[in-house]
Amino acid sequence: MNDQIKETKSFLQELTEPLYSYISKISPTGFDWIFHIMIKLLLLGAIFLILDFVYKFIINFVFRFFRNQEKFPVIQSIYQSKISNSLAHIGALIFIGGIHESIFYGALPATTIFISRCINLALVMIIAGMLYRALTAFRYFFTIKQDFYKIMALNAISETVKILGIFIFSVVGICVVFGIKGSTIVGSLGAITAVLVLVFRDTILGFVTGIHVATSKNLKVGDWVSIPKYAIEGNITEINLLTTKITNFDKTVSTIPTYDLLTTEIKNMQIMSESNTRRIKKSIYFNITSFKFLNDEDIERLKQINLISDYLEGKTAELKKEKENIKHKDKIINGNQLTNVGVFRYYAQKYIENDPDVNQDATRMVRQLDITTQGLPMEIYCFANDSKWEHFEQIQADIFDHLMVASKEFDLQIMQIGLPK
């Protein structure tokens, strides 16, 4: 291999020596080095393009044997992100770096130093691009594996790496161009770091948030979320280093700082969507002045309601037996009694238990809440068996339409704000 390189160098020296002599003769005095650099860069550029094309052809030809992304996800990720092109660039550039001194051999030393620094700068830029493409390769790999949490973390990490990469490779590029030792600049990084922490505060917080969200697996792109702080409800469409985009159900787009994902209350309702269930939690407010004990006539009338007829039969027999042993049994308040609000609560419970649109495997409950100035709230707590918004609203409305009208059968009065006359 070394012998081939030496032969190539000798060939280039013999080939370019007449051209070097000719340029030296025709170039104005004092400007010959400019012409040397221009011609030398053109020659090196032409050799680089030829070698780069050959290397790309060979590398891409080899990668064609690994097209199956299910069997070779890593190789496919490298190929799709075009890291192979960066490898071809590096191979061609290394070859150029080895032979450039043989072109115009004996030229001004300043031209050789300039060309060397240009090649080193190009190498730094290619390596920077290769690292950027490596991040893209990771994204392709996790997409193939359908690991969306890691994709989201990578989005946050990649933005941070890009910013740090720009800073680091800019420093390295300056060192290469001006021939400065890296240790000289590294010594002043302490002061620069303090400034970076202030300038890139949100960036650092976004980076930390991305790592936290990915490891905790609480959120991912596509999740249905609700953020009470901002009155936002919709699907996460994008999580970047600085901002998170949420498409609301009214087709508007909301943007919040990514670090808010750590500090703000967020309700992730995706599991509700995936299980195809959605919670119903609403109350009917009753006027407490309409509450009463049920007399025999009321009970006989309510026994005609199928859902509670058996319950009333059993309860009345139980209460009659209990009243046989108490004093003043004719007084309705003595002993346990049935109330219209209590029987209605039982009716509502049986109604949601028999509703085919209510999930029978989830919690189903009717309960009284604390009395308010608006009356006594009776809360219906259950889960609809369809999470689609339109159908869910229909199910919820059907339940409350029925219960509000049915409450009249129990002589209950629903509270409402009277309109001014």
Which H/E stretch holds residue 246?
strand 243-248
Among the ranges 5-14, 34-43, 193-202, which has the highest mean pLDDT value?
A: 34-43
Residue 8 has pLDDT above 60, yes or no: no
CB neighbour list of residue 137: distance below 8 Å, 6 or more residues apart? 77, 78, 80, 81, 83
Q: pLDDT exceeding 70 applies to what percent of the chain?
A: 67
- Block residue for tokens 């787009």: 253
Tens digits of residue pLDDT in 252-265: 888 887 777 777 77
Query: 357, 359, 387: which is closest to 224 by C-alpha?
Result: 387
Rounded to 10 degrees, what is the CA torsion of 300, 303, 309, 315? -30
Among the ranges 14-28, 61-75, 273-287, 396-410, which has the highest mean pLDDT value?
A: 396-410
Tens digits of residue pLDDT in 222-250: 788 888 888 888 888 887 766 788 888 77
Strand, coil or helix: 84:
helix
Which H/E stretch holds residue 318?
helix 306-323
Q: Which residue has the higher pLDDT, 402 or 217?
A: 402
Per DSSP, 294 falls in state -
Question: Computed from CA positions of residues 311, 312, 317, 319, in that sequence, does the dihedral angle turn out positive or negative?
Answer: positive
Cβ atoms within 10 Å of 155's Cβ, excluding its own: 20
222: alpha, beta or left? (left if phi > 0; alpha if psi -120 to 50): left
CA–CA gap between residue 99 and residue 97 (Å, rounded): 6
CA–CA gap between residue 152 and residue 217 (Å, rounded): 10
Query: Is-contact 23 37, C-beta < 8 A?
Result: no
In DSSP terms, 283 is beta-bridged to: 379
The predicted model gives 255-277 an average pLDDT of 74
pLDDT for the residue 183 = 60
Q: pLDDT exceeding 90 applies to what percent of the chain?
A: 19
Residue 1 has pLDDT above 50, yes or no: no
Tens digits of residue pLDDT in 302-317: 999 999 999 999 888 8
pLDDT for the residue 343 = 93
The predicted model gives 320-349 an average pLDDT of 81
Which amino acid belongs to residue 53? F
Tens digits of residue pLDDT in 207-223: 666 666 655 566 777 78
* Reported confidence tier of residue 420, pLDDT bands at 50, 70, 90: very low
* Reported confidence tier of residue 318, pLDDT bands at 50, 70, 90: confident
- Chain-wide mean pLDDT for the chain? 76
Q: Maximum CA pair distance of the chain?
A: 135
Among the ranges 93-102, 165-174, 225-234, 260-269, which has the highest mean pLDDT value?
A: 225-234
* Reported confidence tier of residue 419, pLDDT bands at 50, 70, 90: very low
Q: Which residue has the higher pLDDT, 125 or 420?
A: 125
* Reported confidence tier of residue 421, pLDDT bands at 50, 70, 90: very low
Q: Where are the alpha helices (DSSP H) in 179-258?
A: 182-186, 189-199, 201-216
pLDDT for the residue 256 = 82
Q: Which residue has the higher pLDDT, 199 or 257?
A: 257
Query: Is-contact 344 407, C-beta < 8 A?
Result: yes
Query: 17, 56, 49, 20: which is closest to 35 by C-alpha?
Result: 20
Q: Which residue has the higher pLDDT, 122 or 281?
A: 281
The predicted model gives 321-347 an average pLDDT of 80
pLDDT for the residue 301 = 92
